[in-house]
Homo-oligomer: A and B are copies of this chain.
Amino acid sequence: MKSGNTDSISKKTSIAIALAMAGSLSVAGVASAQQFETLEESKPPLVLESVGSFYVGGDLIFSDALGTDSRTGHTMVNQMYVQYMVPQGRQKVPVVLVHGGGLSGKNYDTQPDGRMGWFEYFVREGYPTYIPDQAARGRSTHDVSLFNQVRAGLLPPDELPLMNRTSNEFAWTAFRFGPQPGIPFPDTQFPIEALDEFAKQQTTTLNALLPSPDPNWQAMAELAAKLDGAVLAGFSQSGRFPLEAALIDPAGIRGAVLLEPAGGCNANIYTDDEIATLATVPIQVVFGDHLAGTTWQAAFDNCNIFIERVNSAGGNAEMLYPPAMGIFGNSHMLMNDLNSDQIADLIIDWISENVERRGRGVGRNR
């Protein structure tokens, strides 16, 4: 897929432009359906060794507040849903792509404007690919007791967790589509005509219901171990999760990709012992464009300091910053930008060089 990448992007861009010209709120859904059909036709068949889904983790709890029908009893909570596709033939290292806040694993599947998502893209590049829904999100569900207890007057209303959803207006500036809602950056890579389709992906973030530490960290470490080694990628709200998983158990974690971690990389929080552990895992941090004047600039700066600390401890960490390579206009939503294949290729190049060529963990292979 890498050969012809430029042509592929040009084609997709022109489809996106055609969509934008046809675009309005009312036709967005129709346009998207037409578009994925158009794009599907140009792809060769996808040959899979296996496809499916499973859960990692989970705690069996008892509750007497499960809603109607006397639903007192045991339910499972804190589990992590994982969807996967394993390509037929020679396989590369498994890759786990964890979504960000306000989203589900759907974010890595077919894109808002109908283009192939990183899920299928990585599979077509030979990677067994695993897409979780974080615990308490999407198909991973959550404990309902608290809501029913508040409803019944057994707990005060302010015990409810805030239920956050990302508005189009908030996304526009926070995800750096442009300087203010409705005004895109002239070079933005985000397909703004697909904003309403993107909005359909937004889910409620209920992490406030989760115990501490976040069970997603443990689930990611377990998943990597079960897969007998995997590259873990996190994004935004989950951007540091691969590091947290490695601090629980680095055994299965062959690489960590941190996509625009919200709040940065804990450069001034991790202890020297923790940095020493993280120095056994190859780490790539990725940030898009238009950071200046946003909170992402501080996150970027913090991650650069983190990278220095890890490398000083004998590790292998690096920053992928596309603008430094002449690639401009990437938003926070790197996996949904028009050049998402190009960004994927840069990550794949890094995995190939730093995980697959060197084997498991730089610390042991130098």
A150 contacts across to B, CB distance below 8 A: 150, 157, 160
The 8 Å CB contact of A81, one of B81, B106, B204, is: B106
A197 contacts across to B, CB distance below 8 A: 55
Chain A contributes a number of interface residues (CB within 8 A of B) equal to 85
Most central of A68, A69, A163 by chain B CB within 10 Å: A163
Name A's interface SS.
Answer: mixed
Q: Is A10 an interface residue (CB 8 A)?
A: no
- Cβ-defined contact, B144 with A151, below 8 A: no
A114 contacts across to B, CB distance below 8 A: 54
The 8 Å CB contact of A52, one of B116, B151, B226, is: B116
The oligomer's copy count stands at: 2
Q: Is A66 an interface residue (CB 8 A)?
A: yes
Q: Is A188 an interface residue (CB 8 A)?
A: no
Min CB distance A6 to B, Å, is: 23
A174 contacts across to B, CB distance below 8 A: 69
Min CB distance A268 to B, Å, is: 24
- Cβ-defined contact, B202 with A74, below 8 A: no
A352 contacts across to B, CB distance below 8 A: none
CA A45 – CA B48 in complex, angstroms? 5
A164 contacts across to B, CB distance below 8 A: 66-69, 71, 144
Q: Apart from A52-B110, A75-B168, what 20 extra A-B contacts exist at CB < 8 Å? A: A29-B57, A33-B226, A36-B50, A36-B52, A47-B48, A51-B85, A52-B117, A53-B106, A53-B109, A55-B201, A60-B199, A67-B164, A68-B162, A71-B167, A72-B169, A81-B200, A105-B139, A139-B139, A147-B147, A153-B157
